[in-house]
A = this chain, B = another copy of it.
Amino acid sequence: MSRPLLGVLGGMGPLATAHFYRMLIEATPAETDQEHVRVAIWADPSVPDRTKSLLGEGPSPVPVMLDGLRWLQAAGADCVVIPCNTAHAYVEELVASTGVLVLDMVTAALQSCQAVRPGVRRVGVLATRGTRAAQLYERAASRLGIEVVQVPFAVQREHVDTAIRTVKAGGDLAKAARSIETAARVLHALGAEVGVAACTEIPLVIAGAGRVLPMVDSTASLVETALVRLAVRTGP
């Protein structure tokens, strides 16, 4: 009888969660409050840094994420989204412990690339070092017959990592946008036909990069997947 409930395991980072929620609302065809999606958001930014953990430099984020996931489960969430690409390295473990249905942001983003550029062979990915270390995009892409291109580590460190840190700290967004544009140029030079903003901080500073390469926003892909799953909107 009750309408479906979307669980959001958020806070990684908080701004990315707020951005996801706002995009979800804007993408929902609704004239009144009552037509919008029912959402429960657990945004605990004290989740340990995912990249540090994947690089062996910090504690596992899994216990704190499990706390949140259990609360969303108890709240009656029909499915859960995690608006953080890097956190997807832990999805298998989280699902095994809870049985919760977690929508896959990484596959959703790659499928958006196929929609933007049908027959795409080479996708450029802008992500955290954690996402790279866990090979999240490489593994999902191989299942779809796509090759992933990444920026060299010097560009990663100087431009991508810096931009992500700037967004998380609420810093100079215009400067961060220029860094992401530089990284997009490198991906383009390496043969990428489409780029993915594969860290939920990056879509906030993606405008310049979009002039270099068609850019897919992984957050938008996750919104679309969630709306299809909740039957608010049918898939393409």
Contacts and interface: CB of A to CB of B under 8 A. Distances in A.
Given A44-B38, A46-B3, A33 B12 contact: yes
Interface stretch (A24-32, A103-111, A117-125, A190-198): A24-32
A177 interface: no
Nearest to A75: B71
A11 interface: yes
Contacts of A33: 11-14, 45, 47, 49, 168
B11 A39 contact: yes
A12 B22 CA distance: 14
Contacts of A39: 11, 14, 41, 43-44
A35 interface: yes
A17 B25 CA distance: 10
Contacts of A25: 14-15, 18, 170
Nearest to A39: B43
Given A33-B11, A33-B49, A41 B41 contact: yes
Interface string A32-72: 11111111111111111100000000000000000000010
Contacts of A90: none
A87 to B, nearest CB: 11
Contacts of A13: 33, 36
A207 to B, nearest CB: 18
A15 B11 contact: no
Contacts of A170: 25-26, 30
A37 B32 CA distance: 30
A11 to B, nearest CB: 7
Contacts of A18: 18, 21-22, 25
12 contacts: A3-B46, A11-B36, A18-B18, A18-B22, A32-B49, A32-B168, A33-B49, A34-B49, A37-B45, A38-B44, A40-B41, A71-B75
